[in-house]
């Protein structure tokens, strides 16, 4: 990647040299720095303050051993991480991911993205992320509990309701948050809002489960509306069948669209009649089985082994909601050829840089993750507020706030894109709008 700004060029080079092998982190930094070309020109004071060098270096990285015992008495050792990236505008906030692919580079990419996403919500939350290479798939509840308790035994030293508030991500849902919270409470003898995504019986917020998927659709609806379009009557392709995918599908349907695909890491289903969402919830949320089960009761639907083919499905709107780099340039080209008019990212960094470039060049409305999927963390921040006030808001109250926040995020992206002379480019708009607030706070707080 060549930068016009010598300053950004040097920062990028240093990031690559100082973080060897962390390719996802390089990708995330490069994408943000490209957008900041527009800003550093107007603000030479940032270079004098070493602002970008400080922004790309996490405030703290914790890596730790997580030993646990399986149901057969065998000892396993996983690796745990918490990256506390930036606390300029509030306590670190960001999810925990349990997946075998997790290593420091993935957590740093996610933590870096989180800084700008959290800033875009307008709420006082800094950026952080954590996780482990533990795979909850195929483990018993008891094994998952053993792991979570061991993980929290170390993590508890580094987090707190006013310091760092983790939540869920891939592989960390309501069950895992429950075990993690229980262990934190036991260790600290303290009932606090130290985690979000909690169950409703112990401090969770209504709408949190739905928030990322619903928020994604609220953002997409705003983006479509700005171009005189809407979800109504549209055919939608969604990848993934986890928390984000399921609730994106639910809201897209409520807004009048037909969702025709869902996937997991083994393959995808295509249902021309529209995905039967209660069945997907039963398979994935209750039975924890594979999406291939779907076709057993739906003879019209087809299961395809492997994930890439999902983007060959003809659609008006694509919502990638599984994982990073799941949608490449070839997939982008096929989507455009098949008439796709809008893509919004439910997952973090699901589109490769080449795919994003292709969408933007071909006039596809594109909602980048840090804006489009910010509804989850925004609602987590609303959960923190409710915990602090010892109050619980109704579903409709939280949903209304979420809607207002997502519409506000879209407007920030739109107006930053306009201000910097790239109307309709919500990638640059999101990066600049997210960056500006953090930059102002960092400049005000001195060299720390």
Closer Cβ to ligand NDP, 310 or 432, answer by number: 310
Over the window 242 to 281, marking each residue x when it contacts ligand NDP by CB under 6 A and - when it does not, the resulting string is xxxx------------------xxx---------------
Does 434 contact ligand NDP by CB under 6 A?
no
Question: In the bound complex, what is the minimum distance in angstroms from residue 97's beta carbon to ligand NDP?
Answer: 7
Does 348 contact ligand NDP by CB under 6 A?
yes
- Contact pick of 347, 364, 427, 433 for ligand NDP (by CB under 6 A): 347
* Cα–Cα distance, 318 to 374 (Å, whole number): 17
Q: How many residues bind ligand NDP (CB under 6 A)?
A: 24
* Closest residue to ligand NDP in the complex (CB): 242
Question: In the bound complex, what is the minimum distance in angstroms from residue 325's beta carbon to ligand NDP?
Answer: 9
Note whether 299 and 270 are within 8 A (CB).
no
* Cα–Cα distance, 291 to 238 (Å, whole number): 13
Question: In the bound complex, what is the minimum distance in angstroms from residue 294's beta carbon to ligand NDP?
Answer: 12
Q: Using alpha carbons, select from 288, 258, 256 the residue that is nearest to residue 276.
A: 258
Q: Is the dihedral of CA 193, 199, 200, 206 positive or negative?
A: positive
Question: Residue 381 to residues 261, 398, 445: CA-CA distances in angstroms?
Answer: 31, 11, 23
Catalytic pick among 93, 129, 198, 412: 129
Closer Cβ to ligand NDP, 230 or 325, answer by number: 325
* Cα–Cα distance, 11 to 91 (Å, whole number): 26
Does 171 contact ligand NDP by CB under 6 A?
yes
* Cα–Cα distance, 87 to 57 (Å, whole number): 12
Closer Cβ to ligand NDP, 35 or 348, answer by number: 348
Question: In the bound complex, what is the minimum distance in angstroms from residue 306's beta carbon to ligand NDP?
Answer: 10
Helices (H), 156-285: 174-188, 208-225, 243-254, 277-281
Does 170 contact ligand NDP by CB under 6 A?
yes
Does 373 contact ligand NDP by CB under 6 A?
yes
Residue positions counted in the chain: 448
Question: Residue 78 to residues 99, 102, 148: CA-CA distances in angstroms?
Answer: 11, 10, 11
Quote the tokens at residue 204: 């969770």
Whether 258 is a known active-site residue: answer no
- By annotation, the residues acting in catalysis are 129
For ligand NDP, the binding residues (CB under 6 A) are: 168-171, 173, 212, 240-245, 264-266, 307, 321-323, 346-348, 373, 376
């Amino acid at each position: 990647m060549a930068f016009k700004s010598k300053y950004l060029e040097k920062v990028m080079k240093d990031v690559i040299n100082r973080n060897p092998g962390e390719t996802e982190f390089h990708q995330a930094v490069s994408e943000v720095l490209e957008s900041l070309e527009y800003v550093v020109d107007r603000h030479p004071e940032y270079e004098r303050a070493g602002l970008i060098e400080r922004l790309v270096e996490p405030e703290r990285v914790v890596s730790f051993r997580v030993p646990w015992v399986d149901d057969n008495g065998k000892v396993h050792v996983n690796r745990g991480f918490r990256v506390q990236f930036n606390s300029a505008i509030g306590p670190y906030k960001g999810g925990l991911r349990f997946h075998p692919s997790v290593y420091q580079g993935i957590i740093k990419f996610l933590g870096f993205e989180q800084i700008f996403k959290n800033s875009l919500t307008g709420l006082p939350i800094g950026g952080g992320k954590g996780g482990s290479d533990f795979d909850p798939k195929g483990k018993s509840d008891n094994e998952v509990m053993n792991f979570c308790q061991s993980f929290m035994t170390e993590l508890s030293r580094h987090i707190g309701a006013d310091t760092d508030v983790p939540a869920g991500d891939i592989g960390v849902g309501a069950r895992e948050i429950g075990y993690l919270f229980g262990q934190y409470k036991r260790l600290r003898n303290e009932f606090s809002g130290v985690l979000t995504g909690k169950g409703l019986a112990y401090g969770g917020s209504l709408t949190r489960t739905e928030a990322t998927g619903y928020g994604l659709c609220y953002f997409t609806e705003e983006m479509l509306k700005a171009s005189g379009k809407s979800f109504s009557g549209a055919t939608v392709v969604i990848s993934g069948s986890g928390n984000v995918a399921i609730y994106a599908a639910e809201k897209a349907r409520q807004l009048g669209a037909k969702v025709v695909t869902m996937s997991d890491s083994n393959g995808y289903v295509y249902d021309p009649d529209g995905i039967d969402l209660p069945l997907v919830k039963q398979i994935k949320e209750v039975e924890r089985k594979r999406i291939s089960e779907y076709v057993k009761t739906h003879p019209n639907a087809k299961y395809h082994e492997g994930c890439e083919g999902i983007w060959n499905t003809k659609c008006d709107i694509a919502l990638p909601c599984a994982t990073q780099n799941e949608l490449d340039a070839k997939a982008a080209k096929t989507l455009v050829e098949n008439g796709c008019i809008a893509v919004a990212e439910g997952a973090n960094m699901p589109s490769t840089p080449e795919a994003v470039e292709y969408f933007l060049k071909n006039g596809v409305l594109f909602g980048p993750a840090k804006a489009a999927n910010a509804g989850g963390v925004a609602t987590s921040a609303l959960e923190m507020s409710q915990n602090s006030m010892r109050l619980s808001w109704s579903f409709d109250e939280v949903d209304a706030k979420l809607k207002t926040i997502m519409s506000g995020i879209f407007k920030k992206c739109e107006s930053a894109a306009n201000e910097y002379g790239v109307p309709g480019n919500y990638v640059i708009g999101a990066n600049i709008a997210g960056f500006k607030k953090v930059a102002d706070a960092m400049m005000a707080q001195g060299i720390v």
